[in-house]
């Protein structure tokens, strides 16, 4: 379990996080939702230790993360961010192999190779194994980066808007893969997501943020209600319960 305690952060005079307390339960999928500028990504990057909190602390299984060696942290928490400026010409397999860097900093062992093969198979990327990243579509590229974080074999996976710019089919593929990581391998997944319907269909737990603070948090049933979402986004919501789960309609307010 990851918990954050009284986190404050300001960029210059602008406060982005104002006393955030939240908890991300283990072995479940938690979505961070909320309007732009709510501080979701900043909070995620703080958990990833890519941004330092101004005040407060992040704890992993009760232990403050600030004291953990960066090499060890890479074996416990993997982070996937948007990488539009990634310009290295690597093949999919080479990229996934870098997911093993926290374990074997030099040459790959046989165990590393097994994990790499597994990660590639998990996302059905075999046909693209030797393709260069710059020859792939946006969706395939995102799958390759996800395979790298899977090969990192961490208990915790953090993802910043993994569905950005993806078509609906790739978006569903990614979310299903995350769900399976959670259910089949017992990993803890935390992601920032804008599509409220994906959050409602795939999460166990939702943390909604607004203006640098947690607006509400809880199970999907607790957070995905017309009243709460309406106030969170300032839009009129119409939530219907169908055979395939909840559907939030906010398209025609």
Partner 1 sequence: MTARWLWWFAILCGASLLVGARQLEWGQLLSLSGDAWLTLTASRLPRLAALVLTGVGLAVCGVILQHIVRNKFVEPGTTGGLDAARLGILMSLVLAPGAGAPARMLFALLLSFAAGLIFVLIIRRIQFKGSVLVPVIGLMYGGVLSAIAEFYAYRNNIMQSMQGWLLGDFSRVVQGSYEIIYLILPIVGLTYLYARRFTLLGMGEGMATSLGLNYLAWVALGLLLVAVTVSATVITVGSIPFVGLVIPNLVALRYGDNLRRTLPIVALGGACLLLVCDILGRLLIYPFEVPIGLTAGSVGGVLFLALIIRRYR
Sites of contact with partner 1 (CB under 8 A) = 48-50, 70-75, 77-79, 81, 83, 85-91, 94, 98-99, 101-102, 105-106, 132, 152
How far is residue 116's CA from residue 147's CA, in Å, rounded to a whole number? Answer: 8
Give 103 or 250: the residue with its C-beta nearer to partner 1: 103
Closer residue to partner 1 (CB): 131 or 213: 131
Name the residue nearer to partner 1 (CB basis): 75 or 246.
Answer: 75
Burial of 88 (0-12, 13-18, 19+ CB in 10 A): exposed
Least Å from the CB of residue 65 to partner 1: 13
Burial class of residue 107 in the structure, from the number of CB atoms within 10 Å of its CB (0-12 exposed, 13-18 middle, 19+ buried)? exposed
d(CA 220, CA 210): 17
Distance of closest approach, residue 90 Cβ to partner 1, in angstroms = 6
Q: How far is the CB of 194 from partner 1 (least distance, A)?
A: 20
CB 4 within 8 A of CB 22: yes
How far apart are CB 72 and partner 1 at their closest, in Å? Answer: 8
Closer Cβ to partner 1, 26 or 83, answer by number: 83
Closer to partner 1 at the Cβ: 145 or 237?
A: 145
Please name the residues in contact with 177: beta carbons below 8 A apart, sequence gap of 6 or more: 122, 123, 143, 146
Q: How far is the CB of 164 from partner 1 (least distance, A)?
A: 16
Q: Rounded to whole angstroms, how far apart are CA atoms 57 and 55?
A: 7
């Amino acid at each position: 379990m990851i918990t954050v305690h009284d986190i404050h952060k300001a960029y210059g005079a602008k406060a982005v996080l104002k006393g955030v307390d939240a908890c991300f339960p283990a072995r479940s999928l938690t979505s961070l939702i909320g309007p732009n500028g709510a501080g979701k990504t900043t909070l995620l990057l703080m958990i990833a230790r890519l941004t330092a909190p101004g005040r407060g602390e992040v704890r992993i299984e009760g232990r403050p993360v600030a004291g953990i060696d960066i090499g060890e942290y890479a074996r416990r928490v993997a982070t996937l961010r948007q990488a539009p400026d990634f310009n290295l010409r690597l093949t999919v397999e080479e990229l996934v192999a870098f997911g093993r860097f926290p374990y074997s900093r030099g040459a790959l062992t046989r165990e590393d190779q097994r994990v790499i093969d597994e990660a590639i198979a998990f996302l059905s990327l075999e046909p693209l194994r030797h393709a260069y990243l710059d020859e792939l579509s946006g969706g395939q590229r995102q799958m390759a980066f996800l395979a790298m974080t899977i090969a990192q074999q961490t208990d915790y996976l953090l993802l910043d808007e993994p569905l950005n710019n993806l078509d609906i089919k790739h978006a569903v593929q990614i979310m299903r893969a995350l769900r399976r990581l959670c259910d089949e391998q017992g990993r803890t997944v935390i992601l920032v997501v804008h599509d409220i319907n994906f959050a409602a269909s795939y999460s166990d737990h939702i943390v909604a943020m607004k203006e640098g603070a947690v607006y509400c948090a809880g199970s999907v049933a607790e957070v995905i209600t017309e009243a709460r979402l309406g106030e969170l986004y300032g839009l009129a919501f119409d939530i219907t319960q169908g055979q395939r789960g909840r559907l939030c309609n906010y398209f025609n307010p």
